Amino acid sequence: MHILSARIDLNAIARNTAALKRRAGSAELVCVVKADAYNHGVERCVPVMEAHGADAFGVATLAEARQVRALTNKPVIAWLWSPTEEVPEGVELAVPTFEHLRMLIDAPLSPTIYLKLDTGMHRSGFDEEQWGEVFAEAAAAEAAGKVRVAGLMSHLSHADAPGEPYTSTQGERFRAAIARARAAGLNPVRNHLANSAGTWSRPDLHFEQVRPGISLYGFDPVPGEDHGLAQAMSWVATVLAVKRVGEGDPVSYGLTWRAPAAGYTALVPAGYADGVSRAWQPHLEVTLGRRRYPVVGRVCMDQMVVWLGANEHGVRAGDEAVIFGPGGVSATELARRVGTIDYEIVCAPKGRTRREYIELEGSAQ
């Protein structure tokens, strides 16, 4: 083990993928592996997802698409790219503007594309008043052999709130868009709207594909719901030292914390250069021997200090400290404490963090 590791359980990735495949029903499962599989590592996660139900993969950038395309023969769709970039062959593309569409029409690619529509999130995609024009232009380009329109796509803004009527409104707009596209001469056969939350909470919005992300890595996007997912990442470190301090002794920078009594501290080699935000400090507890201990004083660039009190359980150098994940405070609980979302927490480990993997059960590796 390294002194600072993101431990990824591939068995959890496999189980979560299979669960989402079952939930998708007749729809294809597009596994979202952007941001290096939400910081879990595409090189190890993509093959596991492919073996347990993935029908296609989704990424943000073209650089990510190239990396994933080298790992699988399944379709890979990218949706965050500039018309000035060189588009790799074999990558399917979301098209959010006329500039993107016209660049592809003029390029010698004949790519498979998805027209990206704004159904109410107001982030990217063609606005409703543009739909007639873009459908007509895309149909003409398809008839000329310039592009192949596989389907339409959009994004739900609030599917993690069951019963939110705006989700139904977006679904109605998306259905209307499909009908208008067909009337314009297109044949969109792989349409997708549902993210993780939509996959679980709105089977009526599955269409031909679903596009979950965070649930692949073990997180329920709808607060309070439990679909039996297994969180795959634990962020763990090795205690480097245990130190005695006296009552009133200050710890770390700025004299922001003093020992309430004589006792012991543990030094954990993770700091803000590794992804432990200084803003986490008042909320962060590190787990040692299945007992939680508070982080005290200011988080430093490459280390933080944990208060052990009298150290009655005998924490010592070499012990494993769980910053978050199975065996410690969950990423979801930490996110709630610091006022963010678990997506951000699992994307935090960086810097000197090294990934290590729990192999698939029965794997020969």
So what's the pLDDT on residue 365? 46
Contact 328, 287 (CB under 8 A): yes
Pick the CATH number of 10-217 from 3.30.450.90, 3.90.1150.10, 3.90.550.10, 3.20.20.10: 3.20.20.10
Instruction: Write out pLDDT tens, residues 227-282.
Output: 999 999 999 999 999 999 999 999 999 999 999 999 999 999 999 999 999 999 99
SS3 of residue 100 by DSSP: helix
Q: The domain at 233-358 falls in which architecture?
A: Beta Barrel (2.40)
Q: Which residues have a Cβ under 8 Å from the Cβ of 304 and sit 6 or more positions away?
A: 252, 267, 268, 270, 271, 276, 281, 284, 286, 295, 297
Instruction: Write out pLDDT tens, residues 202-223.
Output: 999 999 999 999 999 999 998 8
Active-site annotation holds for 34: yes
Separation CA 302–CA 44 (nearest Å): 27
Confidence of residue 124 (pLDDT cuts 50, 70, 90): very high
Domain ranges across the chain? 10-217, 233-358
Of 34, 114, 146, 272, catalytic: 34
Active-site annotation holds for 21: no
Q: What is the pTM of this model?
A: 0.95
Of 38, 166, 253, 350, catalytic: 253
Q: What is the DSSP letter of 227?
A: -
